Structure formats: C-alpha cells, structure tokens
C-alpha cells in the first residue's frame, strides 16, 4: 500500500467510526504503531483528523463550525513528556518578584507544579493552575474570573477579558493549538482565542510553549501574528528549516 493510499484509508476509517485507536490502525494497515502515529501527526497538521490519546477522532462533523475544546484530562496526557520538558525549561526564565501570566494550557499547569516557592505574582485564567499554586505561600495568585469553560477548566468570556485589562505583567507564558509561519498562532475556540489575544497585549515578553506537533497547523481562530511572540520553547522534533525561519525573524527558540 502506497503512503498516500494509507493516508486515505486512515481518514476513511476515522470518519466512518468517529474514532479509532493506533493499535487497530496498525493491524488494518499492516504497518508499525510508530508509523501510524507519524501518519496521524501529518494528517492532523493537514486538518483531516484530530489526534487523541491512543488514536484519532473525526473532524468531519465540525467543518465550517467551531470544534469542541479537547477535554483537559485528555490534553494533560497527550505528549506529556514533551510538555513537562518544555515547562521545566520555561521555569528557568522566571526570576523572583516577576509578575507573570500563565494560561489554561496543560503545559502552563506543568509549569505551575514546577515553580519554586519564591516571591511571584501569577495571573491566570486556569482553575488547575490556581489550585496548584495555592500551596506555595510566597506566590500571590490572581484569578481572572469569568465564564467557566468546563472542558478546559478555564475562565473565558467578557469578564475574563475585562479583568485582564486591569493588569500588566513582565512575562506571559501561553500555548495554542496551531503555530503557522504565515498565519501565526491559532486556537480551536473563539472564546479562548480572545482571552489569549488580551494576554499577549498585556505582557512585556510573550513566551510561547508549544510542542513540535503544533507547528505548521492552522486551527479555527486566529490569535496573533508570530511577530508578537518574543520566545518559543518547544521540543527537539521541531523541523530544522522551521527553526531557522523563526530565529531569522528574531524569535528566541529553545528546544528541549
């Protein structure tokens, strides 16, 4: 079976069943599970399916409208090792008495769990981040409030956006669903995108936390141009040519 034929078969199976696991695709296509995982990564970048923990789900029912957010519990375990390494590296950028912002991404939560108990002010729209930091006595935590987005355990909407207008931070650490060289940062959900637009506008330094699977992807809603990002922390699977382009644009890129 040619590679292109295998791609079409995978998409067909995912659309017919709604979701399917890597192990089953491996058997049906008679290739290794590692090959299937690479295929799914490529097909997700092309917008033909969505990766899930252990497999893939169909996107055909959401064409022309916003897909639902991926549940937090699923995001927490997807590419967890890469996210933990990215989080640990990002923590190195924080200094005592910094005022920082952490978004509601799973990588930001890994950052929160890794932060030392030093004097900091942390603004966040994430319930998970706020709870994680509550045990650290020297860290002052400010929550945005707003409409609770249950799937991401985050606050969004007009109140969350207005509360961000009242603050200014030294560093904003955030993630997104897609990072495209031409189309910039994007999110799958408009409410999340609007909050992240505000976050980017209120920080002296914007640090993007994104594993390599998000590069080359354009999600539903535009968040910001790449020119608004000062630094990126990602994993070592980032293609060399993309690394070169980003650094040529003046963005500090760290791979871990």
| CA 211/CA 202 separation, integer angstroms | 24
> Would you call 184 helix, strand, or coil by DSSP?
strand
Residue 47 is part of a domain; what is its CATH number?
1.10.10.10
Q: Which residue has the tokens 């920082």?
A: 100
Q: Are strands 99-102 and 120-124 parallel, antiparallel or unpaired?
A: parallel
Q: Give the model's pLDDT for residue 70.
A: 57
| CA 215/CA 45 separation, integer angstroms | 8
Q: 194, 187 in Cβ contact below 8 A?
A: no
> Which one of 12, 37, 64 terminates a domain?
64
Residues 119 and 60 in one domain: no
List, in order, residues 6 or more apart from 56 with CB less than 8 Å away: 10, 14, 19, 20, 22, 25, 40, 43, 44, 49, 50
> Which one of 64, 87, 116 terminates a domain?
64
Residues 40 and 108 in one domain: no
| CA 121/CA 124 separation, integer angstroms | 10
Residues 99 and 203 in one domain: yes
Residues 136 and 36 in one domain: no
Residues 93 and 158 in one domain: yes
Residue 180 is part of a domain; what is its CATH number?
3.40.50.1360
Residues 207 and 85 in one domain: yes
Residues 12 and 49 in one domain: yes
| CA 222/CA 207 separation, integer angstroms | 17
Q: What is the pLDDT along the chain (256 residues), one digit of tens a residue?
A: 788 889 989 998 988 887 888 999 999 999 999 999 999 988 888 778 888 778 888 876 555 455 555 555 555 555 788 999 999 999 999 999 999 999 999 999 999 999 999 999 999 999 999 999 999 999 999 999 999 998 889 999 999 999 999 999 999 999 998 999 999 999 988 899 999 999 999 999 999 999 998 898 888 789 999 999 999 999 999 989 999 999 999 999 999 9
> Which one of 64, 85, 104 terminates a domain?
64
Residues 100 and 57 in one domain: no
Residues 198 and 217 in one domain: yes
From the list 87, 38, 3, 55, the residue with the least C-alpha distance to 237 is: 38
Residues 45 and 84 in one domain: no
Helix (H) or strand (E) holding 43: helix 33-45
Number of structural domains (the chain) is 2
Q: Give the model's pLDDT for residue 220.
A: 78
Q: What DSSP character marks residue 238?
A: S
Distances (CA, A) of 78 to 52, 54, 63, 85, 184: 7, 9, 23, 13, 23
Extended beta strands in 125-220, E state: 139-143, 147-149, 154-156, 169-174, 178-180, 184-187, 203-209
Structural domain range at position 104: 73-255
Residue 30 structure tokens: 């008679």
Residues 190 and 232 in one domain: yes
Residues 123 and 196 in one domain: yes
């Amino acid at each position: 079976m040619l590679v292109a034929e295998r791609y079409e078969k995978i998409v067909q199976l995912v659309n017919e069943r709604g979701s399917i696991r890597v192990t089953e695709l491996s058997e049906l296509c008679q290739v290794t599970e590692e090959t299937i995982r690479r295929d799914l990564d490529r097909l997700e970048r092309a917008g033909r399916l969505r990766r899930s923990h252990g497999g893939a789900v169909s996107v055909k029912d959401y064409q022309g409208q916003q897909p639902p957010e991926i549940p937090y519990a699923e995001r927490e375990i997807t590419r967890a090792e890469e996210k933990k390494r990215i989080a640990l590296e990002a923590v190195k950028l924080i200094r005592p008495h910094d005022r920082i912002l952490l978004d509601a991404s799973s990588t930001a939560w890994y950052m929160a769990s890794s932060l030392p108990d030093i004097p900091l002010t942390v603004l966040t729209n994430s319930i998970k981040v706020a709870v994680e930091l509550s045990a650290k006595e020297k860290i002052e935590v400010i929550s945005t409030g707003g409409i609770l987005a249950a799937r991401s355990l985050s606050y969004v909407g007009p109140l969350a956006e207005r509360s961000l207008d009242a603050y200014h931070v030294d560093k904003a650490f955030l993630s997104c669903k897609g990072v495209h060289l031409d189309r910039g940062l994007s999110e799958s959900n408009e409410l999340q995108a609007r909050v992240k637009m505000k976050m980017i506008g209120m920080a002296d330094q914007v640090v993007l936390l994104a594993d390599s699977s998000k590069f080359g992807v354009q999600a539903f809603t535009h968040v910001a141009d790449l020119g608004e990002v000062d630094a990126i922390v990602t994993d070592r699977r980032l293609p060399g040519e993309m690394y070169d382009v980003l650094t040529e644009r003046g963005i500090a890129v760290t791979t871990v």
